[in-house]
Amino acid sequence: MNAREREQYLREYSILKNQGKPFLYSVAKDSVMACITLGVIILMAVLFGAELGPKADPTTTTYTPRPEWYFFFLFELLRVVKPPSLVFLATVGIPTICLVLLLLLPFFDRGPERNPLRRPIAVTAGIATIAAMAYLTVLGALAGAPSEIELATAPQFERGKEVTASAGCLACHKIGENGGTLGPSLTHIGDRLGRDAIARTLVNPTPPMPSYQAYRTQNPKQFNELVNYVASLKGEN
Amino acid sequence: MRLPAPPRPRFLRPAPPRPGRNGANGRNAAPETQKPTAKDTAVEGAASAIGWLDERTGATPFVRYMLYRKVPKGVNWFYTLGSATLFAFLSQAVTGVFLAMYYEPDPTRAYESASRITNEVFLGELVRGMHRWGATVMIVLIFLHMGRTFFFGAYKYPRELNWVIGVVLLVLTLAMGLTGYLLPFDQRSFWATVVAVNINASGPIVGPYLADFLRAGAEFGPTTIARFYALHMLAIPGLIAALIGAHLYLVVKLGVTAPPWLKAEKKDLLREEI
Ligand code: HEM
């Protein structure tokens, strides 16, 4: 907007403003909206309550690292970026860039036009962003809570399978048909990594995967069964 | 002191006197002799109370300006999303104060106090539920409000700064969600927070420092929860409240945008020019 357009806008705005009604009239609408807001909050509180899971225990790993739904889009972003060297792009890179772009929006989108029908680029970009975030949120919601592994297993690994299922790996990894897609699929991990490499990964993982160091020191037997089971996950065997 | 009457919307104006009644024409009618009714006394009392306040604070011109400033024609329900966000924030503040009366930010007692709030305290589960779902509602509203200002082009001249303040408010609101999630200290919230902080730690340059700051050390320790609590109930909401103040100051000063499809008529523009 150049100086003339700015002045034009201010003049036009002051006319439209003078033709409007006092703020007092908007207060009525705002109050109705406030009542609806409070009503929805109370309704949700009554319907869904305030759930409280088992107490946090830093030593066990039978947990589901699932954020609040409004962080799903950030969490799921990790899924799109696979190579480890690029993980920081997904964890902080892309969100930071998007945030800076959002913050500076008024300074690069400076055209005088305000009507959405005549701002095709801005509106398309806005809708694309909303669609992307909605898509990632839905993906996150569908990943579901980790619980069990349906993949068939040789009997000597049954124990390890149970341990793995309850250790929370499925929150981020797919094993067979179950699990989330945040981390790489583990269905055929045995083809690529041996026992020791998997144990090393568990003790010293790349973020955001949590470390299972404490788990190993406290439950060495389960840890071994888990590693054996994961190492046994091979393609056709 | 008698204040000049403010310009009132039509339905608030007193009805004109009926013809033929006492004092109808104002001029040659006999002066009123009736005793003041209860209503008159009440009105008089209210006016003098307001006068008392005004004499000492000078607040009336300000309040009058706030209430009677014009809002452009054509504003619609989408314009209520901002104040609804504000209302959700206030609801969070109130329910949060009640939760703070029972909550203990200590790793050995946090979970127990949360469970006491949920199961024992009178209406505790309702208040906790309202705080929890209020967070969701506020996030939804803030995104809708941001969408409204985006599609209406309200971030353009002269309201650029208000958009910038808004984005900071959005980030702070998400930070509230993050810091609050840890506090009940159940498995879900604990491990989700561990992962979130690890994600922070993977950031370049400031990432590890930020993560250490949040955790109060290299690992989740006994003081982590107190730190999250202080951020969640003092630092961030204080900042949010201050920034909302600035945001609303700018809204009042600049006025809300007219809907973008409305244009001033040519003849009005011309008249303005003369
Ligand atoms: C705590 C969160 C927020 C509160 C309480 C809040 C409150 C308000 C209120 C009450 C208005 C008056 C007009 C209306 O309601 O539409 C407003 C206007 C505005 N807000 Fe917000 N807001 C918040 C967050 C945001 C965010 C996240 C953005 C965008 C990034 C934003 C950008 C704007 C802009 C540009 C206006 C001017 C709109 C116009 O003049 O038409 N606000 N805000």
**Per-residue pLDDT tens digits of chain A, which is 237 residues long:** 889 999 999 999 999 998 889 998 889 999 999 999 999 999 999 998 888 877 887 765 555 567 888 888 887 777 666 666 777 777 777 888 999 999 999 999 988 899 999 999 999 999 999 999 999 888 877 765 545 566 777 778 877 887 787 777 777 788 877 777 778 888 888 888 888 889 888 888 887 788 888 778 877 888 888 888 888 888 654
Helices within chain B (DSSP H only) = 38-57, 59-68, 81-100, 110-119, 124-151, 160-182, 187-201, 206-215, 224-230, 236-254, 266-273
Pick from B254, B18, B19: which is nearest to A14 by CA?
Answer: B254
Q: Which residues form the domain of A89?
A: 69-142
* pTM for this predicted structure: 0.75
Distance B79 CA to ligand 1 centre (A): 9
Confidence of residue B59 (pLDDT cuts 50, 70, 90): confident
Does any domain span residue A131? yes
Q: Which residues form the domain of B221?
A: 77-256
Asked if A135 and A181 sit in the same domain, the reply is: no
Residue B201 has pLDDT above 60, yes or no: yes
Q: What is the pLDDT of residue B168?
A: 97
Distance B6 CA to ligand 1 centre (A): 29
Mapped onto helix, strand or coil, the DSSP state of residue A236 is: coil
Chain A nearest-CA distance from B245, in A, is 18
Cβ-Cβ contacts under 8 Å, B194 against chain A: 65, 210
Decide if B115 and A52 are in contact by the 8 Å CB cutoff.
Answer: yes
Which CATH number covers residue A104?
1.10.287
The response to whether residue B146 sits with its C-beta less than 6 Å from ligand 1 reads yes
CA angle in degrees (0–180, nearest 5) for A194-A197-A200: 150
Note the pLDDT tens digit of each residue in A102-145. Answer: 999 999 998 889 999 999 999 999 999 999 999 988 887 776 55
Most confidently predicted of A143-147, A176-180, B20-24, B160-164: B160-164
Does any domain span residue A59? no
Tell me how many domains chain B contains.
Answer: 1
Asked if A102 and A162 sit in the same domain, the reply is: no
Mutate to test the pocket of ligand 1, among B239, B247, B262 (most ligand atoms within 8 A of CB): B247
CB of B68 closer than 8 Å to CB of B7: yes
Q: What is the largest CA-CA distance in chain A?
A: 81
For residues A24 and A3, what is the distance between their CA atoms, to the nearest angstrom? 33
Does any domain span residue A120? yes
CB of A37 closer than 8 Å to CB of B140: no
Does any domain span residue A33? no
For residues B191 and B193, what is the distance between their CA atoms, to the nearest angstrom? 5
Q: What is the pLDDT of residue A237?
A: 47
Does any domain span residue A92? yes
Q: What is the pLDDT of residue A79?
A: 61
Does any domain span residue A47? no
CB of A226 closer than 8 Å to CB of A182: no
The response to whether residue B105 sits with its C-beta less than 6 Å from ligand 1 reads no
Closest CB to A116 among B77, B151, B189: B151
Mutate to test the pocket of ligand 1, among B149, B167, B170, B254 (most ligand atoms within 8 A of CB): B149
